[in-house]
Amino acid sequence: MLLLIAALQLSQPSVPATTAQELVTIHADTSISFTLYNPLLKSIPLVIPGVMNPNLSPLSRSGVTLAVGQQIFIIRNRQRELLYTVPADLAPGTEVNCAQLIENLKARTD
């Protein structure tokens, strides 16, 4: 029985596990450096899967380098909601106003 299991494991192609950090590295040629801006007087908790979960402090800017297509979420009403997806045409150095993104999200969902 053990030989059969070992033979099956050897006969199946091995697919290397890819972590989120490795995916960011793989797509490094399509990454864009930009700034997340919080003009509010309260923190904005963000979730960037596989990268980090930053809290943008009040009246702050945070430089990030993310892959095209990377999604950024916010927790709102105890649910994770898509706030932003990094577009391919985002100019490096762009300042993304997170408060404006939140207002746009509220307008779409409320």
β-sheet with 44-47: strand ranges across: 55-56, 44-47, 71-76, 79-85
The H or E element that residue 85 is part of is strand 79-85
C-alpha dihedral sign at 26, 29, 33, 36? negative
| All structural domains of the chain | 19-109 (2.60.40)
Pick from 2-6, 31-35, 62-66, 77-81: least confident = 2-6
Query: To 5 degrees, how large is the angle CA 70–CA 32–CA 42?
Result: 70
Mean pLDDT of the chain: 80
Confidence band of 59 (pLDDT split at 50, 70, 90): very high
Express each pLDDT in 69-90 by its tens digit: 999 999 888 889 999 999 999 9
Task: Tell me the whole-structure pTM to 2 decimals.
Answer: 0.70
